[in-house]
Amino acid sequence: MIKLEKQWVEAEEARPEKPKKTFSVWALEWMETIVAAFVMVTIVFTFTARVITVDGISMEPTYFDGDRVLATKLAGEAQVGDVVIVVHALEETIIKRVVATQGQTVDFDPEAGELLVDGEPVKGEAFGIDNGITFLPDRPGLIMDFPQEVPEGCVFVLGDNRNHSTDSRYLAVGMVDKRNILGKVVFNLFPLSKAGKVG
């Protein structure tokens, strides 16, 4: 037994000591870890989620110019009431609310100032905005003819600030192909007073 212990001690003493890391080696290893983490986060945000800064007043009072939100396609298909980020509709990326999906018929009641979906009024309060503020803009040649049925694979979107929003009422935007939806807004990031999960 003593002989075995002696051999073990000798073996330990014979083992070469690990060289101590210098500060520069330690710092380099940490930098490699940070860069790898940054690359991973970049990949995740590029392909699964995006931070979007709201530009303009078309979504007031829900979102104001400069607000930041997190949008992702991983949250599932856009449904009525969802706020979505749309690309390839105008020159810039836009943020709007889905108010009708494929197969539904959209129209507007000029007397009540309300959206009609399948002949039924959808009051503004359903989306957290004022009632009686949804009209067709008086812009001949720029506005779609209504009623309109939402085609397969498309959604109809409006801004919450109905009087100051270029949305699906306009020929320039029209029915939004779901393939042009960058993602659903799932999280409010800024301002901090509104930070948190949407819905």
Alpha carbon 47 to its chain centroid, in Å, reads 12
DSSP at 134? -
Q: What are phi and psi of 4, to 5 degrees?
A: -65, -45
- pLDDT for 23: 74
Cβ neighbours, 10 Å, residue 86 = 24
Contact 158, 134 (CB under 8 A): yes
Q: What is the pTM of this model?
A: 0.77
Closest CA to 178 of 150, 159, 198: 150
Closest CA to 189 of 83, 45, 53: 53
- pLDDT for 8: 47
Residue 167 and residue 129: Cα distance in Å, rounded?
16
Q: What are phi and psi of 143, to 5 degrees?
A: -105, 145
Question: Can you read off the two tokens belonging to residue 29?
Answer: 């290893």
Q: For 39-64, write each residue's pLDDT tens digit.
A: 665 555 555 788 999 999 999 999 99
Residues 6 or more apart whose CB falls under 8 angstroms from that of 80 comprise 98, 99, 100, 101
The DSSP bridge partners found for residue 116 are: 107, 121
Q: Is the pLDDT of residue 20 over 70?
A: no
Closest CA to 125 of 133, 116, 136, 135: 133
